Amino acid sequence: MPQEDRRTRRTRRLLRDALVALVLERGYAGITVEDITERADLGRATFYSHYTDKDALLSQIVADLQAELDSRLEPLLRAPSVGFSGKPILEMFRHAAEERDAYRVILRGEGDGRALREFMEARSAAAAMVFGHRARAMEVTPRIDIDVLARAWVGEQVAVLRWWLEAEPQPLSAEAVTHMLLELSLRGRYWANGFDGEPPTASGEGSPD
Amino acid sequence: MPQEDRRTRRTRRLLRDALVALVLERGYAGITVEDITERADLGRATFYSHYTDKDALLSQIVADLQAELDSRLEPLLRAPSVGFSGKPILEMFRHAAEERDAYRVILRGEGDGRALREFMEARSAAAAMVFGHRARAMEVTPRIDIDVLARAWVGEQVAVLRWWLEAEPQPLSAEAVTHMLLELSLRGRYWANGFDGEPPTASGEGSPD
DNA sequence: ATGTTTTTAAACATGCTGTCCACTATTAAT
DNA sequence: ATTAATAGTGGACAGCATGTTTAAAAACAT
């Protein structure tokens, strides 16, 4: 005894897939409700018996995806050395690869960036919490403002993830790219042994140029 | 002998300001051409004698801003130690502070993220060029893929810039926040003296969790 | 003062929206 | 297999935004 009618499940899935496919083809602003129902092979009236408008459908898609990602991440975020293992980022990249098209819609900023903003805000909040918790646990004042740190870390992930999802063909494995990301975030692009160029002149700032 | 009629200059500026203000209030999708002309106190027909539609106006705004930023950045990008001084990032943050509202519109992803994508793509291309040039000049193979590096660096900047521009009141000075950003990018959040938490267990990856 | 360019209101056809209706098809449960 | 409930459908509707065109008025440069 399924709680949901088989028809509604089918309809919602069809609408979801149609929206995602069409947005990738023509952009969110370029498609109408009728375009969606036509692609899904459904009557236009059916759309409105499930969602109030295009935005509501997109919101639902994003909410479902976030919930799925959160449930996948939840166990990983309880581990003691979060932020050093790279497991959560890897898990996010894997999830994104599985739901590639939906992620592309979100990361492109379709829907006037609302979905992307919400996505990044959720990730940033989680990151800030982890960073803050660790700082308190070790009784240490972080060198860098925690809000800046969290935004930067998430911005990095999201920008690289978008590039990675849009690249054709995938140039790097999820493992390789997340490893680079973690490596970069932990140690920076300048490394003591000079792998990535010369060091800044002094101990901090104020180089000649 | 001004090259442009005084009226067209005035009209374009009014339309530009009206669009930016309204987008911040109601979102790009939530405003009509008539809303814009009403706010600008102009006839609706006037709009169409300057731009084909809302998108064209937004594109123009973004193009103007990019051109202004590029001309400001150009001299800084010729300096030998670019990427270590932090001057270009600081200049970008200053420019953004001056044109705060327009930047907010872009960075929020209004217009289905097109403006933001173009902005980031332009910055990433510039960054990749600098990184690539330096790697070749020093005859060194960068530890991290240059495309990943460029996207990560730009993603970091943009995410923090957005947070900084939206924060009320401004919690950090442009100098302070860009210094953190550069610091973070060069040396990472983990630092040999353990400022930001424990080091990863081994020399690289593969921690217990 | 004059010829040029810009701004304007009004009217128009077109297309999308969101709602409603009566009707049909599918479903889950008996 | 029958049935009662629920979901899907096509059609019609008013409302609204779009983008174009017109002829007249206003602002402009010289």
A113 touches strand D (CB under 7 A): no
- The predicted-structure confidence for A139-196, as pLDDT tens digits, reads as follows 778 888 899 999 999 999 999 999 999 999 888 999 999 999 999 999 888 654 444 4
Q: Which of A203-207, B70-74, B130-134 has the highest mean pLDDT?
A: B70-74
CATH H superfamily, domain B55-186: Tetracycline Repressor, domain 2 (1.10.357.10)
Tokens 């996207």 sit on residue: B151
User: If we measure between CA atoms, which residue out of A161, A164, A127, A123 comes closest to residue A142?
Assistant: A127
Specify the DSSP class assigned to residue B55.
H
| For range A73-92, the mean pLDDT | 86
**What percent of chain A is modeled with pLDDT above 70?**
88
- CA B76 vs CA A20, B86, B87, B88, B183: distances in Å: 42, 10, 7, 6, 19
Confidence grade of residue B10 (pLDDT, cut at 50, 70, 90)? very high
Q: Residue B59 carries which side chain, given as an amino acid letter?
A: S
Our measurement of CA A48 to C1' D10, in angstroms, reads 14
Query: Which nucleotide comes closest to A7 if you measure CA to C1'?
Result: D7
Handedness of CA B123, B191, A136, A179 (dihedral sign): positive
Between the two ends of chain A, the Cα-to-Cα distance in Å is 71
- The predicted-structure confidence for B35-63, as pLDDT tens digits, reads as follows 999 999 999 999 999 999 999 999 999 99
- The predicted-structure confidence for B134-177, as pLDDT tens digits, reads as follows 888 877 788 888 999 999 999 999 999 999 999 998 889 999 99
User: If we measure between CA atoms, which residue out of A149, A168, A161 comes closest to residue B152?
Assistant: A161
Hey, which residues 55-74 in chain A have their CB within 8 Å of chain B?
A: none
Our measurement of CA A22 to C1' C8, in angstroms, reads 39
| For range A131-135, the mean pLDDT | 84
**What percent of chain B is modeled with pLDDT above 70?**
88
**Topology (CATH) of A58-187:** Tetracycline Repressor; domain 2 (1.10.357)
Model pLDDT, residue B2: 55
Specify the DSSP class assigned to residue B30.
G
Long-range CB contact pairs, B163-171, < 8 A, 24+: B163/A124, B163/A147, B163/A148, B163/A151, B164/B93, B165/B96, B165/B97, B165/B100, B165/B103, B165/B104, B165/B107, B166/B104, B171/A147
Least-confidence region, from B44-48, B83-87, B185-189:
B83-87
Domain ranges (residues) in chain B:
1-51, 55-186
Same fold, B1-51 and B55-186: no
| For range B76-84, the mean pLDDT | 76
Does the CB of A134 have a partner CB in chain B at under 8 Å? Answer: yes
Chain A residues close to B158, C-beta within 8 Å: 155, 159
Buried/exposed A163-189: b ≥16 CB within 10 Å, e otherwise: bbbeeeeeebebeebbbbbbbbbbbbb
- The predicted-structure confidence for B199-209, as pLDDT tens digits, reads as follows 443 333 333 34
Q: Give Cβ neighbours of residue B148 (< 8 Å, ≥ 6 apart).
A: A160, A163, A172, A177, A180, A181, A184
CATH of A1-51, one of 3.30.200.20, 3.30.56.10, 1.10.10.60, 2.60.40.10: 1.10.10.60
